[in-house]
Amino acid sequence: MIRKKSIEDIDLKGKKILMRVDFNVPLDNGNVRDDTRIRAALPTIEFLLKNGARLVLVSHLGRPKGEKTPELKLDPVAKRLTELLGKRVEKIDYTIGPEVEARVASMNDGDILMLENVRFYREEEDNDSDFARTLAKPYDLFVNDAFGTAHRAHASTAGVAEYIPALAGLLMKKEIEELSRCLEEPGRPLTAILGGAKVSDKINVIRRFLELADNLLVGGGMANTFLVAAGYNLGASYHEQEQLSLASDLIATSKISRCRMVLPSDLVVTEDLKQNSNYKVLAPEEINGNWKAVDIGPKTFTMFGSIIKESSMIVWNGPLGVFEVPPFDRGTAEVAAAIAESSAYSVIGGGDLVAALEKLKLSDQIDFISTGGGATLEFWEGKELPGITALKDK
């Protein structure tokens, strides 16, 4: 288990703290459309304020590529955080410099301030050491609660830790504990469910769970690549032609590993990927012509449900069909419902799947939902994440 010092381990009163949050949230006409990531940071923010810290938040929003982009300013985020906290969150139009230093110097215990989008500075993503030093200058401590960006070696995720002591926030601590538990103390049988479009995005996670899990259930576009590698035609279905050899190797590995790889036995297919377009349910060997596989079929999600019911722990990353285009959301919805009803300990790895669970109103029936997308996958792969490595060891 990775053990890092957290905000619970020190006296916070009067400390000027720079806290990295992941407030990269969707905006709609100047308002926050989904505040899941903001709410995830509330326990750490409230803990710091209650314990007398002078708290300054820094985040990115979107991909401004070093340009000061008006529609990516953090004002709507500060407004939403003010509503959630019930306490005014002042926002300033700078991230570094004399204006920031003067404002931080005038703060009192329990005050909270939000800086401007850190990606308005090109030096952020370059992890420029001068920028990181300037960013760290007004503060006593750095707190990282942005697990979703922990796989990035940026100035505000790793660079500042060269200049001031770095601690884990409560969310970061929880992410490390829960994701480590899946790898180091898994309940048996352990069932891993992997979806999403591409095998290439998840090669190392597939390998890891073929070593670790008892069952690996595969859906989404990546299942098409495995099925084509297994010799099926699949008509006009999306698949990664350049990954077929690798997919064949992974299928062969599964046959000699402890882990049973389960591919779809039926698929929902359509000729026109649009909402409520005509579709059929076919076995893989029946698909041809212009038909494309866009979801797992009823036999498959029923089979997946039976395996889930017998599992003690479930980890899941990636939707199992084109979830955003009904009715091709049914496979994901049925599997989510099976997990919610099961007694297994469930851990969901972020990204598109979080939005799907929110839409299905099943989030509160999952034991742990990671706020990371790429970070969760890289953690499960066993990679070192710069944002975690930079934190002080316990």
Q: Is 374 a known active-site residue?
A: yes
Q: Is 103 a known active-site residue?
A: no
Phi (first) and psi of residue 189, to 5 degrees: -70, 140
Q: Is 351 a known active-site residue?
A: yes
Rg (CA), the chain: 23
Name the maximum alpha-carbon separation found in the chain.
Answer: 71
Distances (CA, A) of 187 to 190, 266, 313, 342: 6, 29, 5, 14
Phi (first) and psi of residue 113, to 5 degrees: -140, 145
Distance CA(331)–CA(335), nearest Å, equals: 6
- Residue tagged active-site, from 4, 37, 152, 173: 37
Distance CA(58)–CA(40), nearest Å, equals: 15
For residue 228, give the nearest of 181, 288, 274, 186 by alpha carbon.
288
Distance CA(5)–CA(173), nearest Å, equals: 9
Distance CA(153)–CA(155), nearest Å, equals: 7
Q: 243, 220 in Cβ contact below 8 A?
A: no
Q: Is 122 a known active-site residue?
A: no
- Residue tagged active-site, from 79, 87, 137, 198: 198
- Residue tagged active-site, from 169, 351, 373, 387: 351
Distance CA(35)–CA(394), nearest Å, equals: 32
Active site residues: 37, 198, 351, 374
